[in-house]
Amino acid sequence: MGEEFPEKPPAPDLPKYLREPLEKQSPERLETVATYANELAEWKRRQRQQELEDRRAEEEVDEEELEELEERGISTDPADYEDVPASGAYITIKTTKQTAEKSYRYLYWQWREGDSWKNEYIAPVNPKG
């Protein structure tokens, strides 16, 4: 009686156009693909982190603006906000509308979740009165 082969591993949730060609490859080719996929994933993580750092440096409010918020009684501690993560979030200023006479500028917490950006409103930059 012949030797029993172990069961084929369950396929990950991949599109058919990726999964089917992989299943036709030799073990050596699959190892090469796996190595490349791991290196590519690491490169993309580093690229995403660099983009995050660049965007943060470009948009984050400075120390003087943070002090002004504290003077206005607005917390700059992410723990004081329900949905803001404790790390990775920063305060930024967004212009939501601009007319010939006025800009509508607001402070937001901003952070990255996976491939998307999240934000939470804090306050207007220049309060009325």
Q: What is the pLDDT of residues 31-71, one digit of tens each?
A: 999 999 999 999 999 998 898 888 877 777 888 888 888 88
Model pLDDT, residue 70: 87
pLDDT grade for 1, boundaries at 50, 70 and 90: low
Q: Which residue has the tokens 């999240």?
A: 118
CA 70, CA 80: separation in Å to the nearest integer? Answer: 13
Residue-wise DSSP of 64-110: HHHHHHHHTT----GGGSTTS-SSS-EEEEEEEEE-SS-EEEEEEEE
CA 115, CA 85: separation in Å to the nearest integer? Answer: 16
Q: What is the pLDDT of residues 64-122, one digit of tens each?
A: 888 888 888 988 889 899 889 988 898 988 888 888 888 888 999 999 888 888 999 99
